[in-house]
Structure 1
Amino acid sequence: MTTRDPQAPRLAGLAGLIADETRAACLLALLDGRAWTAGELARHAGVAPSTLSEHLDKLVTGGLLTEERQGRHRYVRLTDARVAHLVEDLAAQVPPGDAVRPRGLRASSAGSAMARGRTCYDHLAGRLGIAVTDGLTARGLLRQDTGFALTDAGVDWFGAAGIALAPGSRRPLARACLDWTERRPHLAGLAGAALCRHAFSVGWCVRIGTERAVKVTDVGERALWELLGIEPGALR
């Protein structure tokens, strides 16, 4: 007689929540870190609002999403960074050969923009995220040989650049997040989130379109070249 691990049904339940194309589309969209209305997600997923509402109920009950209501609108977002990392890590496991070919120029352009630079919940991803991670590593500010960790010089660099690292948080200072387009890890954790917030607040990056895609501005190109030696051409 074998004793089933009590985690087994809970793990199966969690996998079942994600194993639906409509719910997966919602989770991927919410990786931009913002709250979306149910109507926006319904249009994004291409389903009726009533159908989407049922899916959202399951995701909220399962702990993957949190919700709040303002007037007639229902807003949902990913519960926390752990959920975002789970979704991004799962997306990175999809074999490249299984990718769906974009339909039309608009979809192809959007896909290229996402691969070039995007947000992954609260940090930078795509080629932009990889370039920043490589720049930090090349300068001895980030170590990847024994897992992701900021060096003492890295902590000092963040302070000198005016990028505040929130003290007392339970989140790791630096965390590797596998990039699903680049198939390499980029910087997440407190440092990744702080760098992303700073990039938007000082105008290094701007959002483009309604997806998670971001674009590095001329100001950002100069700053990243001066601070991390990132060639502007690598960000275009």
Structure 2
Amino acid sequence: MSLMLNADLGEAIDSRLVGGTDEAIMPHIHQASIACGYHAGDHLMIQRTLNLAARYGVMVGAHPGYPDPQGFGRRSMACSRDELVALMHYQISALDGMSRSQNLSLAYVKPHGALYNDMMTDQQIRHAVMLSVAGFYRPIRLVLQATPDAGLHRREAEAMGVMLWFEAFADRRYAGNGLLVPRSEPGAVHDREATLAQVEQIKRHGSVTTLDGGALPVTADTLCIHGDNPESVAVIREIRALLDQ
């Protein structure tokens, strides 16, 4: 299994902090999913994160979320289909325009936090997200979590003319249904040892061990680490080395 490595970046609370954790991560990843200003980030953070991506030759993607900076985009919000499409287009367009100004090409969209989780469990929200990607002015990929429903999700996307990349997670524990254990539960975010073990299992066996001890098949195109998890950031060199083997 050949996997790209991605990270969610540009999410510092203060734009002056960009260049610390993000700069430590950027040389080791293939893809940077950059916050668009709704759940985190601002125009200066976007610019600085794009600068880093350009310096290290990293693919860039938009990381849009609910308009919820107080909750870091981790709280679900009731939005109509039209509102979801508009808020997605607004954020994607901001990243696309700023990327073009730095001679970069936005390659994909990966929703953030509660929007990502809602998309995976609510068909109407997922279709609104797909509709926003399908209605963008040029083809662009959408990142979805690799779950046992991946075949259904691929058919939904194909019906709308949307291309997908499926994603697995290095540093998050999986529930038996293939979704992520909520962050509010103990052990939802892996420590260093568990992160490395999960990366190796995904790489070698195409599976993860779930909370109930089962082995869940995972077929993914890209593997995510979270920039706000110090444990996974500390071993990013080792994660990249495992993927490059």
* TM-score normalised by length of structure 1: 0.27
User: Counting helix residues as a fraction of each chain, which structure ranks higher?
Assistant: 1
Higher relative contact order (CA 8 A, sep 6+): 2
Which of structures 1 and 2 has the bigger CA Rg? 1
